[in-house]
Structure 1
Amino acid sequence: MLATERELRLDDIYVRAGLSGPESVADYWIQFTEMPDAEVLADLQALPVDVEVQYGAPASARELAALAAALTGAAADHPDVIHSAGTRYDPQSYEFRLEYAAVDGATDDEVAQVLDAGLADAAQGRPYQRLPVGVVLDRDDSREPSVTEATVQGGRNLFRGGSRSCTAGFTARRHGNRGALTARHCPNRLEYRNRRGIISRNPAQTSYNAVDLQFHRTLRRHSTNRQFRHSRNDDRTVRRVANAPDGSAICHWGGTTGRSCTYVVNQDTCEVLSGHRYCGLDVTRDDVSAGGDSGGPWFLGTTARGTHSGGNAGNASFFTRVGRLYFLDAHILQR
C-alpha cells in the first residue's frame, strides 16, 4: 500500500518495489532514483516489516513507462513488420529489454526502421536526446503474439448478444456512481450475467487508450456491493487496494479458467496485445488465463491488485495494475 502511494506521489524518483530474496535480512525492498526525503524514510521505518531502501537507479518508473510506451507503440504501428513485442525491466541490473519477433519476410532494414523510430520517439524531448537507460533489443522470432482474452459483483460473467465475452472485475465508484470494472478491449454493450438493464452499455473508458480499463455504471433499481469472486464457492470483500510487489504471489478469477495463482515477475510493462499497445501491465511467471477471462480481478487474499488484460500462450499472463485506475478516475469499493 505504501509503495502504491509513493509511486503516485513521487513518480519522479520512485522506481519499483518487491519482496526481498532469502539472502536479504529485509522483508521488502523499494527503489528510488535518489535518496527520498525524511518523511518517506520515516513512513518506511514505521512499517511493521523491514524495508530495504535502494537509491541511485538510472531512471524513474515514469521514465521507464514512457520508454516502454514508445518502443511498443512503434511495434504496434507496424504489424506488417513486428508481430509480437513487449518490454521487461530488471530493477537489480537496470537492464531494460524490448522482446520482439519479426513477421516472416520482413527484411532487416524494415525491422531496423521500426526499432529506430521507437528509440527516436523515446528520446524526443529528453536532455541531449538520450534515453534514460540503455535498451537491449532482444529478437526472438519464435516469440508468440500476446493476445487479449475476451471471448455487479466482481468476477461475474459479462455477455454480449447472449454469448459470454468477458469477466467483471472489482466493483468501483466513479464520479459518484457505483459499477463494475472490466477491460477496455472488451465490447462496450455488455450485459451483466446475460441480463439487460443492470449495467450501462455505454461504459466510461480511460483517458489514455493504452490503459486497458473501462467502467460500467450500475443502473437504477440495482445495487452494487464490495465483493468479488475469490474462488468457485467463495466471494470476498475488498479490504485493501495496492499494486503487487515484484516477486509476490498473486491470484485471479476468470470466467473461463476459474481461480489460478502464480507470481509477479515484472511490473509496469507495455505489451502489444492483439495488435494494440497496452501499458501499465504487470507480468506473471505462468500463463494462467484464457479467452473470456479479460476484465476479471487479480488479488491476493482480500487485497485488490489489478484487472486482467491478456496472455502469451504458455508463457505469461498480463493484468493492468491497480495503480493505473487514476486514468479512469475511479476507486475500487472496499471495506
Structure 2
Amino acid sequence: MKRRIVPSLILTSALTLGALGVQPAFAEENDEAAVIEQTIQEAEAFDAALLAEDLGVTEDVADQWFEGEDEFLAALDYALAAVGDQYFSSAWTPENEATTGHKAWVSFKGGVPADVTDRFAALTFSVDVRLDAEHTEAELEDIREELMTELYAAAELDGLTGDFTDEGGIEIEYTLADTESDPAEFEALLETFMDETPVAVEAEEVEDIEPVEEVVRGGTSIKSCTLGFTVTKSSTRGALTAGHCPNSAGKPTGSSASLAFKAQHIGASGDIQWHSTSDSIRNQIRITSSGVTRSITSRDTGANGSSVCNYGKTRSSSSCTTIRRANHAFINKDGKHVKQMVQTNGKFTNGGDSGGPWYSGNSARGIHFGKSGGYSTYTKINSALSKFGLTLKTS
C-alpha cells in the first residue's frame, strides 16, 4: 500500500472536525450521529503526516520509505503462521536500501517451505530472506530470561532490560541501585554470566531505565488509564487495558454501565487485563480527544523499524513512531520478568496513557504499558488475546 503524505493541514483539519462530536468504542445504539470516522485515505494521510514529523524527514522521503510496508508485514504474518517455530527476527529497513539493495529482512533457523520464500519474492522490492539463524525467537527468549533472572538476583537493580541483536545475540541494559553494596562484585558476576551464556551478550550500565507504568495513581476508574481495544469472549463483550491499571475501572467515556473486571496478567504474556460490559461495543478506537475515530478491522505483527501509532488520554491527538525492538523484555518493580513487549522509538506517552491502543492503519498492534528503557512500550495484541482466549472485535 502506498502511504500518501499530504501537508500538515490534514492533521489540523482532522482535529477541527473532531470538535463536532464524540464517538467512543462503548456507545448506545442510537448515537450514530456522533461518529466522526476517518476514511481509509484520511487515516493514511493522518498517520503519515505524524510519522514524517516524528522521524524528522521530509514528506517525500517518508512516503518512499514506507511504501510497501503493509505488504511486507502481510508476508511476515503469513510466514509466522506457517513456520513460526523457525522464526528468529525481522526488520523494515528502507533507510539502508541504497547500500544493501534490500528494503527489509527476515531471518529463520533453517530452510523454510517455498511458499514462504515466494511470498517475500513476490513483493515489488527486495527482501533479504536469511535462513542461517543459530536460534529461533523462542529459544533466544528462554536464554534471555535465564540470563536476566540471574542478573536480577545478583544485585540491587533499579532497571533491567533485554533485547535481541540482529546477529542473534542478547543486549542487556541495567541500572544499579544506590543501595547496591558491592558494584565491583556484580560486575565480576556479570562477566561470568556473559561468558556462560551460549550466545554473544552485550551489557551496558545506563541511567534511569526502570520501567515506568503510565497510570494516574489515586484513581479508581478507567480515568486512571486509557481503554484499549474492544473484544469478545463467546457472548461476553468487553475491552482490554493494561494489567497494572485499577481493577475497578468504572464507566468508560460514552458508556452507561461500569466495566466488570474479568482477569489480569503481568508476566510471560505482557502487562494486560480485560473487563466485560453490558453495553454494546464497536470496533473503533478514539484517535483524538475531540472524538475522531478509527475502525479496527484486523490485527498484525510489527517488525523492527515498521511504523506504529498510539492514542492516550493525556494527548489531544494520536502520535506515530517506529518500532525500536519488536521482542523486548524487562523485569518490573515487583521482580517479574515481563515479555511479549514491543519497545518503540517514541517517548511521547504520559501518566494516564497506560492501556491505550497501539495500531497501524486499521490493524491493532498492542496495549500500552508505559516506558521501558525510557521508550514508550506496549504488549503485543496477539499475546493479549491468546492469554485470555479473546477475539478482537473487527466488524
Q: TM-score, normalised by structure 2?
A: 0.70
CA distances 1:211-268 after superposition (whole Å, capped 9, x unpaired): 211111122xx10110011233411111221111210121100111342221111111
Q: How far apart, CA to CA, are the structure 2 residues paired with 1:178 and 1:227?
A: 14
1:108 to 160, 180, 183: 183
Contact 2:266–2:272 (CA under 8 A) maintained in structure 1 = no
Equivalent residue in structure 1 for 2:158, among 74, 83, 88: 83
Q: In terms of Rg, which structure is larger?
A: 2
Offset at residue 98 of structure 1 (A): 1.0
Structure 2 counterpart of 1:137: 203
- Secondary structure class of the residue paired with 1:282: strand
Deviations 1:33-67 (A, max 9, x none): 22212232234345566433112112211122223
Pairing 1:28–2:104 present:
yes
The equivalent position to 1:224 in structure 2, one of 281, 289, 298, is 281
1:7 corresponds to which residue?
Answer: 80
Relative to structure 1, the CA distance from residue 64 to residue 209 in structure 2 (aligned partners, 3 Å threshold; closer, same or farther) is: closer
Relative to 1, partners in 2 of residues 1:192 and 1:119: Cα closer, same or farther, differing over 3 Å?
farther
Task: Give the residue type in structure 2 aligned to 1:225.
Answer: R
Look up the match of 1:125.
Answer: none
Decide whether the 8 Å contact of 1:74 with 1:114 is kept in 2: no
Answer whether contact 1:59 1:132 (CA < 8 A) is retained.
Answer: no
Q: Give the number of aligned pairs.
A: 313
Q: Could you say which residue in structure 1 is the equivalent of 2:338? A: 278
Structure 2 spans left out of the alignment, 5+ residues = 1-73
Which residue number in structure 2 is paired with residue 154 of structure 1? none
Which amino acid in structure 2 is aligned with residue 250 of structure 1?
V
Within the candidate set 59, 62, 68, 2:135 is matched to 59
Could you say what secondary structure the match of 1:192 adopts?
A: coil
Match for residue 390 of structure 2 among 326, 330, 335: 330
* Code of the aligned partner of 1:227: Q
CA contact (8 A) 1:4 1:323 kept: no
Paired-residue identity, %: 24
Residue matched to 2:145:
69
Task: Work out the CA distance in 1 between the residues paired with 2:152 and 2:234.
Answer: 33
Residue 214 of structure 2 corresponds to residue 149 of structure 1 = yes
Aligned residue in 1 for 2:120: 44
Alignment of 1:189-268 (within 5 A): 189-193=248-252, 197-200=257-260, 202-206=261-265, 211-219=270-278, 222-232=279-289, 233-258=291-316, 259-268=318-327
**Hey, which of these two has a bigger chunk of helix by percent?**
2
Give the drift of 1:109: 5.9
Name the CA distance, whole Å, in 2 between partners of 1:90 and 1:289: 25
Aligned CA distance change for structure 1 residues 310 and 72 (closer, same or farther; 3 Å): farther
For residues 85 and 8 of structure 1, the distance between their equivalents in structure 2, rounded to whole angstroms, comes to 31
CA distance in 2, matches of 1:175, 1:113: 53
CA distance in 2, matches of 1:146, 1:266: 15
TM value normalised by structure 1 = 0.81
Letter matched to residue 256 of structure 1: T
Larger proportion of strand: 1
Which whole-Å CA distance do the structure 1 matches of 2:150 and 2:115 have between them?
Answer: 40
* 8 Å Cα contact 1:184/1:205 also seen in 2: yes
Paired residue type of 1:54:
R
Structure 1 residues 28 and 331: alpha-carbon distance in aligned structure 2, compared to 1, 3 A threshold: farther
- Asked if the contact 1:263/1:284 (under 8 Å) is kept, the reply is yes
Q: Which of 270, 287, 290 matches 2:350?
A: 290
Equivalent residues of 2:325, 2:343 under 8 A apart: yes
Give the alignment's Cα RMSD to 1 decimal.
3.1
